Amino acid sequence: MSAYERSKILLRFADLLEQHTEEIAALETWDNGKPYEQASKIELPMCVRLMRYYAGWADKIHGLTVPADGPHHVQTLHEPIGVAGQIIPWNFPILMFVWKVGPALACGNTIVMKTAEQTPLTAIYAANLLHEAGLPDGVLNIISGYGPTAGAALASHMDVDKLAFTGSTATGKIVLEMAAKSNLKPVTLELGGKSPFIVCKDADIDKAVELAHFALFFNQGQCCCAGSRTYVHESIYDEFVEKAKARATHRVVGDPFRKDIEQGPQIDSEQFEKVMRYIRSGIENGAKLETGGDRFGSKGYYIQPTVFSNVNENMLIGQEEIFGPVQSILKFKEIEEVVRRANATQYGLAAGVFTQDIDTANTISRALRVGTVWVNCFDIFDAAIPFGGYKMSGQGREKGIYSLLNYLQVKAVVTPLKNPAWFGNRGIELDIEGWAAMANTKVLSTLSRALASSIRAISHGRNSHWVRRHSTATAVAASIEEPITPPVKVKYTQLLIDGRFVDSASGKKFKTYDPRTGDVITEVAEGDAEDINRAVSAARKAFDEGPWPRMTAYERSKILLRFADLLEQHTEELAALESWDNGKPYEQAAKIELGFSTRLARYYAGWADKIHGLTVPADGAHHVQTLHEPIGVAGQIIPWNCPILMFVWKVGPALACGNTIVVKTAEQTPLTAFSVAKLLHEAGLPDGVVNVVSGYGPTAGAALASHMNVDKLAFTGSTGTGKLILEMAAKSNLKPVTLELGGKSPFIVCKDADIDDAVEQAHFALFYNQSSSSNPCDLMMVDAIRCYETSTSLSQGQACCAGSRTYVHESVYDEFVEKAKARAIKRVVGDPFRKDVEQGPQVDSEQFEKVMRYIRSGVESGARLETGGERLGSKGYYIRPTVFSDVKEDMLIAQDEIFGPVQTIFKFKDLEEVARKANASKYGLAAAVFTKDIDTANTLSRALRVGTVWVNCYHIVDAAIPFGGYKMSGHGREKGIYSLNNYLQVKAVVTPLKNPAWL
């Protein structure tokens, strides 16, 4: 249905909530124990407000148009993520119901909600009202049951596309592990807290006492953001304690249905006993019990309002989330001290700051590592204010514009432009002689005549110059000759930690091999857990104490720009090292990947001073702003297929946002990361900001993924390893994880496609390993000539987004297969340092054997081997370009990611069939559609559940185009504006306004 129709249903639901306020509030109080007046006058109106807020968002969810570096139209679609599983807590059942379903429904998703076993009643009631409002059957489904049964089933379900959980940190870790072990569904977590409430010496004492009381005791203390650590300046500590004791003594406890009751019972006997144990613990640990500390009455689960003074952080009541009416008051001397103590916790949900001094307020607000800071107020929960935590208080944000991101997938759709305006009406069909003449001018003398000769080689009428160059190729696959001596020396083989090259702690080394021969190139320091500890310590110190996060964004930008210049200056050396270690053609590395890496570095340099928060319209007299802060220490694990490109791809956004980094290189290709990181330091990067550790996944990689002082993790690699990485993050400190994983991308050739073009591009999409000898144009001219449009190389089919399932319409199938076979036979395979070689060796013996097993499996399963399927030569890891026809979906070569030069060609009859087959995969990284019909292109682009759709092109991967997958192809997006979100925390800062204009 239209977004407007969804909006109307949500508005009708808001009206029904308002009409049924008294009944729902009574049910909530009966089931939960909270005061009826709180439920009816605070929580139900907030539910109505939230639902109207999200109804207003439903028709305002927009994608972007993205500026490409060449003649391509790029748009991003923000699509519903699918089936959302939602697990709500018992402390605010009706509010959490609306809080969760509002953004999910506004974005067009369907929902399965599991209620808390303690409080199932109001969610069922509210869901019935949603159906009365017109919600179609099956869109919202409510399951009441227990966590270990119903909750676990929902968290681990393979057909749930997204999970949102609010509850304890311990359960949140279990939920995230289940998601990781099942289908890698993204998870939003809103978890526990131990929020500091800081009262400075200049605070209004009476107001601070009252708000500290409210911050802790509201909802019987059963609130994740309760101000449960009250820090008071020593000069007013005694006065504050006496007044806090008096206020708690006067707190009205009783039947929540009675008028003027402030506090009802705890939720159940289990929670009651837990709180009482904490109270006994406080007494035993030496805290002073000022008041309370006992049961209230003889029936039910009432607890006297309890206040402790002389509390310190070594006590359990100073460390752990009590979730009950227990106020702990701590003493501090100075601002630096209280900030350090406030941050010394696994939690980071919220905080309060009470002061009349604007400098003090700003200093503390910035320094606290929490998701919300309330200044001279507490628990201001407008619909537009984002809510969520740092550290182990969760991942993601709820409420406000940020909450919509939890329920949307970003799809990039890329289409070539023919003779576009704003590109001189040329498009790909460039004015060849005009460019040739320009190459003779003084202005462009640095391009030399090579640019002009390259452009003259481009024929008109193709989607890219690569297509024309390859389509006229006549070379046959080369025999493997004696390897050429690489024109480079290995300079760096030690770990880079805190700005210095050092040996591993163990002194161990491992060998890195030349894939052309299997011979050893050199030995490299083998980092393990101890080296990861050293690197993380350096990064942590650089973040907490160093200049990088504190220097101006402009200064960071200048360093990244200098780094880009150095990359450009060292292109030949780095490209040779990359080819030697990885096996990709030198010309591809030098002219494509290094050029694109330089482009990425300059792109992110440009973002450094453009990272802005928002000002948020509050419903009352409050000023609300969001700060977009660096997340901290980022762990980054890069793959072996594009080492330099992935290094820059990862560190670029992290550095632009002000983070520090520990990079773990792939054990197969460790060499170039050291050289590139050295250039970063030459550019002026402070010591400790980027640290590089080479080592193996099960040792160094696992240590980084599970490290308690790493705040963020980014991984590119296989889906199997990605699941392990996410599990490790969940079991450790719940660090958020970006995953760019495997793919099995469909390449769809419709009956009206240009067959020759489609054959060439399908070949490129699967096999491509660039030979750039006929295109030596300077990457500085990239805005005019899309030299690097193919910059994500397939490295002998070794690419996550390889077009590895070629679907061809039955009417053109036989012709396509014959031409695809002929093109594969002509593919030039050989030493990657030789000119015009298109394909080098696989990266190592393990990958070689894996690909050969898949080829044998294809033959054994009945697919027709059209060409290839054999080793090429007797040395190294070369494989003949392989083409299979008559492939069926139940074959392994159709299902699994092969990561090698093996093209599989399928037949289809109609669009509905091919869309269904293309989506019938656990992967969802990319796809291509080749057709001349705009309706066909639009239909398939929308229908395919993938992160990128290329229409009549492939591998257009500009710096600004987001890249990432649906389903088990990963979480999050890399490149473009979306990539910055991976390395930022959102902090809401709320301050009351006195006599404001406009209110």
Count the Cβ atoms, other than its own, within 10 Å of residue 874: 7
Residue 400 zone, left/alpha/beta (φ > 0; ψ -120 to 50; rest): left
The residues near 883 (Cβ < 8 Å, ≥ 6 apart) are 817, 820, 821, 824, 865, 866, 867, 868, 903, 905
190 is catalytic: yes
The residues near 144 (Cβ < 8 Å, ≥ 6 apart) are 114, 115, 117, 120, 123, 124, 150
3-state SS record for 446-486 = HHHHHHHHHHHCCCCCCCCHHHHHHHCCCCCCCCCCCCCCC
Closest CA to 330 of 314, 350, 345: 314
Are the C-beta atoms of 969 and 640 separated by less than 8 Å?
Answer: no
Q: What is the C-alpha separation between 641 and 663, in angstroms, rounded?
A: 16
The residues near 180 (Cβ < 8 Å, ≥ 6 apart) are 723, 724, 726, 727, 730
Are the C-beta atoms of 948 and 963 separated by less than 8 Å?
Answer: yes
Are the C-beta atoms of 863 and 883 separated by less than 8 Å?
Answer: no
Per-residue tokens: 122: 């109001």
The residues near 850 (Cβ < 8 Å, ≥ 6 apart) are 898, 899, 900
Helices (H), 876-924: 892-895, 911-919
Number of H helices, E strands in the chain: 34, 36
Say which DSSP state 355 is in: -
Q: How are the residues of the chain apportioned to helix, strand and coil, as percentages rounded to the nearest 5?
A: 40, 20, 40
Kindly provide the residue ranges of all beta strands, DSSP E only, lying in 122-207, ordered along the sequence: 140-144, 162-166, 187-190, 196-199
- Strands in 350-354's sheet, in edge-to-edge order, are 288-291, 306-309, 326-332, 229-233, 196-199, 350-354, 372-375, 984-992, 622-630, 615-616
Per-residue tokens: 116: 């808390």
Catalytic residue among 177, 190, 838, 866: 190
The residues near 807 (Cβ < 8 Å, ≥ 6 apart) are 746, 747, 748, 749, 906, 907, 908, 914, 917, 918
Look up residue 252 and give its amino acid: V
Handedness of CA 370, 372, 373, 376 (dihedral sign): negative
CA-CA distances (angstroms) from residue 389 to 833, 985, 986, 987? 51, 9, 9, 8
Q: What is the C-alpha separation between 856 and 258, in angstroms, rounded?
A: 76
Per-residue tokens: 827: 């593919």
Catalytic residue among 740, 760, 838, 866: 740
Closest CA to 390 of 155, 738, 739, 733: 733
* Pairing of the two strands 187-190 and 394-395: antiparallel
Q: Active-site residue numbers?
A: 190, 740
